[in-house]
Amino acid sequence: MSAVTAAKRVSTPQIRARKGGEPIVCLTAYTTQMARWLDPHVDLLLVGDSLGMVVYGFDSTLPVTLDMMIAHGSAVMRGAAHACVIVDLPFGSYQASPEQAFHSAARIMSETGASGVKLEGGEVMAETVRYLVQRGIPVCAHVGLMPQAVNVAGGFKATGRSDEEARQVTRDAEAMAEAGAFAVVLEGTLEPVAAAITRSVSIPTIGIGASPACDGQILVSEDVFGLFSDFTPRFVKRYADLGGKISEAAAAYSADVKARRFPAMEHCFLPKSGGQSRP
């Protein structure tokens, strides 16, 4: 990466400085081409472990490996010149100890060139976040609905509905801010609770199914563009139906091939006029 390109990229301190300011625009990306399309329009690209469901067809994010995240993180970095790129630490790659988290995060940082990592967990992960930050690894936290804890939670359910849940997600967000995270994703959190957390913590909150009051918003790009039709969460606003257009285009291609309308002569390599030249 050239010095000029590096200088243009949004940094994690710049993201943190946006607290209470202009909303932070975030989307997911898993491939080079998607990163190229999104890069001019967003502040942060997240290489989320949601790729397990969106790209690989898993039922959850749990089967995603560190090698998968590194491969897709590297692909996104090749397509993004402006956005801050953050890569998820997948399930099982950081929970055992701060040392395990450091080794996993260090691999991501060194092998992808990304600006930081994201991990799920609140109070119980505060020591790990502090350990990483003190060793030069920027961390974006993730609290509220945590997909990697789906089996403990009993499914993908919004949190903050009871007073105790509201207190817990608030404590989690505050613990992440105190530990040194530069931002915190609030997922699937009751709107008043997310708004109150945004007012109380010193770092930007990035909402997904949370509140308009959050300092930024993130969605899975495939949901936004209509490329993932298996399930659309209620908090997603679809801005296009590209999946439908792809299906229509595939049907038109199929019809042309079957009717021998494609390929036509203009799609073929033809001999030069005058016949073949002699060696």
248 is catalytic: no
> How many domains is the chain built from?
1
Binding site for 3-methyl-2-oxobutanoate: what residues are annotated? 49-50, 88, 118
Q: Is residue 204 part of a domain?
A: yes
Q: Is residue 223 part of a domain?
A: yes
Domain that holds residue 129: 3-241
Q: Is residue 145 part of a domain?
A: yes
Q: Is the pTM of this model over 0.85?
A: yes
Statement: residue 3 has pLDDT above 70: no
Binding site for Mg(2+): what residues are annotated? 49, 88, 120
Cα separation of 75 and 70, whole Å?
Answer: 9
User: Out of 164, 165, 187, 191, which one is annotated catalytic?
Assistant: 187
Q: Is residue 250 part of a domain?
A: no
Cα separation of 50 and 232, whole Å?
Answer: 13
Output Rg (C-alpha) for the chain, integer angstroms.
22
CATH of the domain at 203: 3.20.20.60
Q: Is residue 219 part of a domain?
A: yes
How remote is the C-alpha of 145 from its chain's centroid?
15
Q: Is residue 81 part of a domain?
A: yes
Q: Is residue 128 part of a domain?
A: yes
What pLDDT score does 169 carry? 97
For residue range 70-122, what is the model confidence (pLDDT) as tens digits?
Answer: 999 999 999 999 999 999 999 999 999 999 999 999 999 999 999 999 999 99
Neighbours of 201 (CB within 10 A): 23
